């Protein structure tokens, strides 16, 4: 599986293009659909699915045009439907953990509420697409509508139990980087370390 990191928009967003042969999946496409269409066309890719890690506008903005053109419904956890502003016909909603086979892609959807009620991480191969749940050295904000600090701590603990070599790809390139590993974050990320420590005290 090949992973292209595409930085789009004024908020440092990371859109991810996953490809296996001519098959493709997009994660959190936002801001510039013309550019994404150009890439899909240039590489002669067949877009099989679109996934959103959560419903905030900066991860979804203008994506409805892409969905309409490709006759797709995006996968979005149902708790973030209202937050997303997407019209219902463009959304395939679901609840809780999911295991999906999308063409050659095995997708494990892991619920990770905290930043939003419907936040998820997408585990595909050895890659974990964390949206705004986990960043290199940080975690997502928990002071927004539908955020929950306790749920964020629980989500960070859940992610910490994944294999150490799991490669994470975050929703923003804060600090100039969007990727790390679970093992590194367990050791160096103060938010994950504190969440693990609090869990161990219970």
Confidence of residue 84 (pLDDT cuts 50, 70, 90): very high
So what's the pLDDT on residue 135? 97
pLDDT tens sequence across 119-145: 999 999 999 999 999 999 999 999 999
So what's the pLDDT on residue 200? 74
Rounded distance between C-alpha atoms, residue 196 and residue 191, angstroms: 9
Q: Which domain holds residue 90?
A: 2-201
Q: What is the CATH number of the domain that holds 25?
A: 3.60.15.10
What burial letters (b/e) apply to 33-62, b meaning 16+ CB within 10 Å?
beebeeebeeeebebbbbbbbbbbebbbbb
- Return the DSSP state at 202: -
Looking at the DSSP bridge assignments, the partners of residue 5 are: 16
How many domains does the chain divide into? 1
């Amino acid at each position: 599986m090949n992973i292209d990191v595409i930085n789009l928009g004024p908020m440092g967003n990371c859109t991810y293009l996953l490809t296996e042969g001519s098959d493709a999946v997009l994660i959190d496409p936002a801001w510039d659909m013309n550019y994404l269409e150009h890439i899909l066309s240039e590489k002669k890719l067949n877009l099989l699915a679109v996934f959103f890690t959560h419903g905030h506008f900066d991860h979804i903005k203008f994506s409805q045009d892409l969905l309409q053109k490709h006759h797709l419904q995006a996968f979005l956890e149902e708790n973030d439907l209202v937050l997303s502003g997407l019209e219902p016909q463009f959304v395939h909603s679901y609840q809780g953990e999911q295991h999906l086979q999308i063409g050659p892609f095995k997708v494990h959807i892991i619920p990770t509420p905290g930043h939003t009620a419907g936040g998820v991480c997408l585990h595909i191969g050895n890659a974990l697409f964390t949206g705004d749940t986990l960043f290199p050295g940080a975690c997502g904000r928990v002071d927004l509508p539908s955020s929950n600090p306790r749920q964020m701590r629980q989500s960070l603990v859940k992610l910490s139990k994944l294999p150490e070599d799991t490669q994470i790809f975050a929703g923003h390139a804060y600090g100039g980087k969007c990727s790390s590993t679970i093992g590194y974050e367990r050791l160096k990320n103060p938010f994950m370390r504190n969440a693990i420590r609090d869990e161990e005290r219970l």
